[in-house]
Amino acid sequence: MADKPNLRDLSLEEIEILIDGLGKEQYRARQIMKWLYANGATSFFEMTNLSRDFRDQIAASATIKEPAIRHIQASRDGTKKVLFGLADGQAIESVLIPGRNHWTACLSTQAGCAMGCRFCFTGSQGFKRNLLPSEITGQMTMLRRHIPEGRLVKNIVFMGMGEPLANYDNTIKAVQILTSDYGLGFSNRKITISTCGVVPMITQLGRDICVNLAVSLNATNDETRNELMPINRTYPLAELLAACRKYPMPGRRMLTFEYILLAGVNDSPKDAKALANLLRGIRCKLNLIAFNEFPGSPYRTPKPERISAFQQVLLDHHYTAILRASHGRDILAACGQLTGRGEHLAPAQGIF
């Protein structure tokens, strides 16, 4: 007998098909979605506007499963890192990042990562598997249910473990659930997908869904980027930037380019000038990120004055160039530091 589908892996349309197969009205699918996401139901028996017979019927046909919170770790700056356990024993991490008037949730789309970027601790752990839609959206539903700050999240960034566009179908389905009126109801203007440069899927993303795009760039020439990011050997800078120029950004929204500054590698004023020239004509902003060091890395964080000089060159070329604060460094929760491993957590941290 085939495994019963997890309703949290299904879109509204797929739940409608399931309900139709049970001989019930399709509008029941919208009721179920509301229970799952708006009301946070964890069992069919909480869905009290469905008849008992129907609840028994659908419980025999489907399941409701989410990842489980294993640890919560708090940084000195207020950032919270959450370790999730998955049904097959894999683990992933999400991060809750404090803002001025809201919180941002940084979600994972894979257990591990296959991209092998040399400055990324996640990539050094290797690739385990893609996450299911339920495991992607489940990070957000569990954060909302169990952590007070989770209910204050206004922005979602897919910048956690994994390359979102390498798990394309599941990531897109998760975004559709997150933004659905019957799901979690987030605005697509508040969703950002980050990529290291999977060019064909950038093009596909622009056709399929309207979300913000952040591209991890980190170098201004193929030689350096080949060394830092193996994907550049498959999709070099010229192809990547051509896809970026075509990516549809409605209204006044801009593409984001992320640039991790590595001491002595890509952080000189000459590099900054090359970056300004490279991105000429693209409606974009730049997030500059001082490298977050991790055990065994060959790279170092540039000195503050070096970072400021780099930023000033871009400002002089009339770019919006923001030095992004790295939250949660002390708990390995900053950009590129997630591993899905809990052995570094203090024993006193909360366990669910």
- Over residues 59-87, the mean pLDDT reads 94
Annotated catalytic residue, options 93, 135, 163, 258: 93
Residue 205 in contact with residue 211, Cβ under 8 Å?
yes
| Helix/strand/coil percentages in the chain, nearest 5 | 40, 20, 40
Indicate if 93 belongs to the active site. yes
pLDDT in tens, 183-202: 999 999 999 999 999 999 99
Alpha-carbon gap, residue 7 to 64, rounded angstroms: 6
Q: Which pLDDT band holds residue 281 (cuts at 50, 70, 90)? A: very high
User: In 10 A of CB 330, how many CB atoms?
Assistant: 13
pLDDT of residue 343: 41
Yes or no: is domain 68-331 CATH 3.90.550.10? no
Q: Which pLDDT band holds residue 160 (cuts at 50, 70, 90)? A: very high
CATH architecture, range 7-59: Orthogonal Bundle (1.10)
Alpha-carbon gap, residue 191 to 174, rounded angstroms: 11
Alpha-carbon gap, residue 236 to 230, rounded angstroms: 10
Distance of CA 110 to the CA centre of its chain: 9
Per-domain boundaries in the chain: 7-59, 68-331
- Over residues 289-296, the mean pLDDT reads 85
Indicate if 210 belongs to the active site. no
Instruction: Return mean pLDDT, the chain.
Output: 91
pLDDT in tens, 234-266: 999 999 999 999 999 888 889 999 999 999 999
Annotated catalytic residue, options 113, 120, 244, 335: 335
